[in-house]
Structure 1
């Protein structure tokens, strides 16, 4: 199997990501004994040291366990990585962000024009743009670009800079959010996203676009979010 030799992501990390996908898809079920390091090294065209590094990475995550004299086995821990729910109601989305308490790294902040579509609603006078990486236990799971109505941002700039935005918006009495919608598409990680999320180039990602509007139709919040594909879980109630 060919790896991306031009990627900034080390080969052992690329291999670990492939192992994660095999576990998540059930190709390597719980209790499965991995092939010998020599066999895996031949499959990927790397040294046994590189395979050991990949295995050690997943062992630290609890997905694999090396048993002396027996081999390396799948523990099933990787299945629990899909902790990130893409919620389908505004209230559930706000609650999810309260519960996760992500570590926020702001990459940039500026004033910008929001890339609105005609069906989104009318533009606010000004927007504050924030680009961030959200992490959990030092593991980045999404890159998010936020366009927030500047008049809303100025109400609590310190909180908006240090906390996730949606729970704060949910607390506001005015402007009240009367319409909230999101679309989800499946894509692949480009060079920038791969670097920020620590995944191989062209890894599967979930791309979410969220738009919140106030009573007069003004878009007060627009977010473009890219999630690691191996963390995302979507649950929906299907109406009969």
Structure 2
């Protein structure tokens, strides 16, 4: 548990202000996070400690924390407390890019560890997604995707084998698949369809991501196109405490 550092004298709440107390507290806590007082992954003080430090009710503290959770700055775990999220792992609107590029754009060091590479026949569902006949030969690449050395996702990529001869010879840890496809085969992703669902981690995936079986996260399915046809079908299991999706919605009229 992180000890509560007393708030600076100037960082007090004004009960006579037109700004509600919960909004004032939200701003003060936000400033402490942005100042680096609580680093990403750090557990912040308890509700009781915050009540005592700022002289406010538990309702006010919960309102302030709830707003910061909704903004993606904090995360809560039942029975575990409240933690500072790493906002760099928040995925919003983005282009068709690799996971490595997505992390790099957020200031993180991307990495990957290959679990296995093999060939397998396409099952009917994947074959339909790739517009191939069932049984068509696919290259399967399973990797753990890392951000700053920490596991974020387990990803399985299925690629049309006839389009990428000898691809296996060029795959390895910390290698960008899309960079290889571009450099050696002239294949550039242009469009993708992606579906995210909330899921509990299967027993074979949980230890790879260093989480408990059934821990909540995302299951993502993606089909990627190069402008002519689909060339990749990918499924990913992503840690819910290290990856977040946030979209901005806006009416056009």
TM score, norm. by length of structure 2: 0.56
- Which ranges of structure 2 fall in alignment gaps of 5 or more residues? 1-25, 30-37, 54-64, 66-73, 75-81
| Contact 2:198/2:216 (8 A) holds in 1 | yes
Tell me, in whole angstroms, the C-alpha distance in 2 between the residues paired with 1:105 and 1:177. 22
> 1:62-95: CA deviations, max 9, x gaps?
51379xxx9xx99x69323353243543048673
The structure with the largest alpha-carbon Rg is 2
Tell me, in whole angstroms, the C-alpha distance in 1 between the residues paired with 2:109 and 2:138. 25
Calculate the aligned-residue CA RMSD, in Å. Answer: 3.8
- Which ranges of structure 1 fall in alignment gaps of 5 or more residues? 1-28, 32-58
> 1:47-72: CA deviations, max 9, x gaps?
xxxxxxxxxxxx99751379xxx9xx
Query: Paired residues, what number?
Result: 180
Q: What is the match of residue 63 of structure 1? A: 42
Alignment match of 1:212 (pick from 213, 224, 232):
224
Q: What is the match of residue 158 of structure 1? A: 170
Alignment match of 2:194 (pick from 174, 182, 190):
182
Moved more, 80-89 or 128-137: 80-89
Matches within 5 A, 1:1-240: 63-64=42-43, 78-86=83-91, 87-91=93-97, 95-99=101-105, 100-115=108-123, 116=126, 118-122=128-132, 126-150=137-161, 151-152=163-164, 154=166, 157-158=169-170, 162-169=174-181, 174-217=186-229, 219-239=230-250, 240=252
Deviation at 1:142, TM superposition (A): 0.6
Tell me, in whole angstroms, the C-alpha distance in 2 between the residues paired with 1:153 and 1:88. 30
Deviation at 1:220, TM superposition (A): 1.3
Deviation at 1:185, TM superposition (A): 0.6
Q: What is the match of residue 71 of structure 2? A: none
Identify the structure with bigger relative contact order (alpha carbons < 8 Å, sequence gap 6+).
Answer: 1
Deviation at 1:111, TM superposition (A): 0.7
Tell me, in whole angstroms, the C-alpha distance in 2 between the residues paired with 1:85 and 1:166. 21
Tell me, in whole angstroms, the C-alpha distance in 2 between the residues paired with 1:111 and 1:78. 42
Deviation at 1:97, TM superposition (A): 4.4
TM score, norm. by length of structure 1: 0.58
Tell me, in whole angstroms, the C-alpha distance in 2 between the residues paired with 1:156 and 1:83. 31
> 1:125-154: CA deviations, max 9, x gaps?
532111111223332111011112333363
Tell me, in whole angstroms, the C-alpha distance in 2 between the residues paired with 1:127 and 1:212. 14
